[in-house]
A and B are shown apart, each in its own frame.
Chain A
Amino acid sequence: MNAPDRAAAAPSAGGSAPPLNPAEQAVVDAVLAERRHLAGALLPLLHGIQDRLGYVPPGAQPLIAQALHLSRAEVHGVVTFYHHFRSEPAGRHVLQVCRAEACQACGGEALLARARERLGCSEAAPTNAARSHTVEPTYCLGLCAQSPAAMLDGRLHARLTPAKLESLLAATESVEAPAGETA
């Protein structure tokens, strides 16, 4: 569709991807061993890697391609087609705010804008400079009768108000602070 842009945006599309670090390598090997024999194994593989690492490292793509007898382009195409998969780590906390119609009807867009502003994230740069938070839109969490809704670090929250959102975000920061000091 838009090949030059995609190639520019994705380091693995051309040239060689950065090699995996040992932790990444261990996860990729383990998931490949566990799931490569499934029928239609690619999505289960990518889920397995992302569930454990938080992202699918570009360096994993050639290994997956080899294991499944696919071209690297096919694997790359799948990783980048699906919104769920990320090629680099997200912030330490991930907030996904629903912007589908039922949430729009109850202030979802304003909530998303507020979260972005509050955390220093934007549509173009979903992860803030401190890498503490990633804010992303999502399109329906199935909580449409209790809108607006969001998911924070895998936990669902419905009937959100600006005040509730603020207390959720404040809680991520209070968890954050001691960890930062010891690090």
Chain B
Amino acid sequence: MSTTLTLYVPRDSAALAVGADAVADALRAQAAASGLALNLVRNGSRGLLWLEVLLEVATPQGRVAYGPVTAEDVPTLWPALMADAVGEYPSHPLRQGVTEQIPYLALQERLTFRRIGVTDPLSLDDYAAHEGWAGLKAAVGHSSATILHEVTHSGLRGRGGAAFPAGIKWRTVAHAHSPVKYIVCNADEGDSGTFADRMVMEGDPYLLIEGMAIAALAVGAEQGFIYVRSEYPQAVAVLAEAIERATQAGWIGADVAGSGRRFDLQVRMGAGSYVCGEETAMLESLEGRRGIVRAKPPLPALQGLFGQPTVINNVLTFAAVPTLLARGADFYRNYGVGRSHGTLPFQLAGNIRQGGLVEKAFGLTLRELLYGFGGGTRSGRPIKAVQVGGPLGAYLPESQWDVPLDYEAYAAIGAVVGHGGIVVHDDTADLAALARYAMEFCAIESCGKCTPCRIGSTRGVEVIDRLVANRANPQVHEQQVTLLRDLCDTMLGGSLCAMGGMTPYPVLSALNHYPADFGLAPAAVAPEAAAAN
């Protein structure tokens, strides 16, 4: 310990975007100048994103965190790091104490994210030393029926937003008669406020690979694809390298973990289309076409990629699977409430003081997340609105912050948990402008196949513009409100997929809960049921 200093500087995009490489370079230079052997690990991110760059030093008490660190801090930080390394307790304004004891981290229930930030993402040794491959090894020893039973019994539901039971989807594919089946990971994480998929891919890529390999064994597939959005070049690079290494090591490829079964994996890059996060549009894109949504049925589970039975799950769904196989379905199932079993990695984003990743069992409330973890807004102003579940999720006013975060409870108030993204706005936010943006975004990203989405979104922007412009003209104003509600009703009921079908969620919730922003008196608000419908 006296001759080698072990430091951790994350290589996650969230750290790179605030200068992690410069910090790493400065540390190397400092070590060279001091004639000290430096073991610099480029780990994933702990998810305490307001503290990035979060530098850690190995100490006799465990890893100690410093943050947010910049390259300029390194000279003053160096003596403190040296002192920590030999078990002294230096004082430094950026010193956060033992990482694992930081309340934000200590209060979480990390299952999927338990390794992320701890290990070197691409180190196979690190992965194996931290319970890696335990789920796959268990799966190799099980029959397909047993794996399917475990996944079903765990209560795991699709983490991409639709929350469909993973076990039932897998069973459908397993029972489909076809010599060729596919496993496709939807890593087109386009929702604003979400970054959990990215953190898994960059911070623990073998976890995703392991989950997909287990799915392949369960359903009898030999080929898998990970469809990653083009805005995530770092994730693509890490995954490509991880697939190469895992194949070389025999965890996937010609003989999956000694099972005698083949499973080959490829990364494919999207090209900046939000709608390709919709599973059938993603399939079209993978096949080399425009991302146009397909009508269902047929279900992708029966006729998916290239017309073959296909398991499509989100990154977090596959990433949950190794844990439940390694530790048992009951272990996983016992987290959560109601029919929402397990944990969800929530992502606290937007105007929030302590933004980051919070993995907790379902059932906690938004208020606990916003204030307990998040510490209120970054601007110091009151929170006005919180959008949960991405750009297609509802805006929640304070009266709804005590509803437990579970799929059914949220559905009951006309909201969605979705992919667990939580975007906070302070009292300077204009909800009419945000509602207009929701329609505008839909117009930009609509695939164009169905009319309510393609045309409705453009009309929606126009109606909101007229509504806002005619605040002084009650008659026109009222007409536009009626028109907007009618339009939303058409989009909700008549769209082919969630793009057009859920864009009304943010729009109607903004209109219902923040009427003043639209120039309406609170009394004019229609009952909440209108939004929930």
Contacts and interface: CB of A to CB of B under 8 A. Distances in A.
Interface of A: 1, 39-44, 46-47, 68, 74, 77-78, 81-85, 100-106, 138-147, 149, 151, 154-159
Contact of A139 (B17, B192, B194, B434): B192
Nearest to B425: A105
Contacts of A147: 349-351
Contact of A101 (B192, B289, B352, B355): B192
B359 to A, nearest CB: 14
Contact of B14 (A41, A44, A158): A158
B188 to A, nearest CB: 11
A77 B290 contact: yes
A84 B228 CA distance: 13
B291 A138 contact: no
A104 B429 CA distance: 9
B17 A102 contact: no
Residue among A103, A145, A151, A159 with the highest chain B CB neighbour number at 10 A: A145
Nearest to B202: A142
Contacts of B355: 144-146
A141 B396 CA distance: 24
B230 to A, nearest CB: 5
B402 interface: no
A2 to B, nearest CB: 9
6 contacts: A81-B291, A82-B291, A143-B195, A144-B349, A145-B348, A156-B234
Contacts of B230: 47, 84
Contacts of B291: 81-82
Given A103-B192, A146-B50, 18 more contacts: A42-B289, A43-B269, A46-B271, A77-B289, A100-B441, A101-B350, A102-B350, A105-B351, A106-B378, A106-B379, A139-B274, A140-B191, A141-B17, A142-B189, A143-B17, A144-B192, A146-B49, A151-B231
Contacts of A149: 17
Interface in B268-326: 268-274, 285-291, 306
A142 B351 contact: no
A102 B290 CA distance: 28
Given A43-B269, A43-B271, A47-B269, A101 B17 contact: no
Contacts of A156: 13, 16-17, 234
A145 B356 contact: yes
Contact of B437 (A42, A101, A151): A101
A43 B423 contact: no
Contacts of B195: 142-145
Contacts, number: 158
Contacts of B441: 100, 139
A106 B351 contact: yes
Residue among B269, B271, B274, B387 with the highest chain A CB neighbour number at 10 A: B271
B401 interface: no
Contacts of B347: 144-145
Interface string B161-202: 000000000000000000000000000011111110010000
B52 A146 contact: yes
Contacts of A142: 13-14, 189, 194-195, 198, 231-232
Contacts of B273: 81-84
B360 interface: no
Contacts of A101: 192-193, 350, 387, 391, 423, 425, 434, 437
Contacts of A1: 448, 454
Contacts of B194: 140, 142, 144
B233 A154 contact: yes
A100 to B, nearest CB: 3
A104 B285 contact: no
Closest A-B pairs by Cβ, 4 of them: A145-B355, A100-B192, A42-B288, A144-B349
Contact of B192 (A44, A102, A154): A102
A147 B391 CA distance: 16
A105 B424 contact: yes
B18 interface: yes
B445 interface: yes
A82 B444 CA distance: 11
Contacts of A138: 231, 272
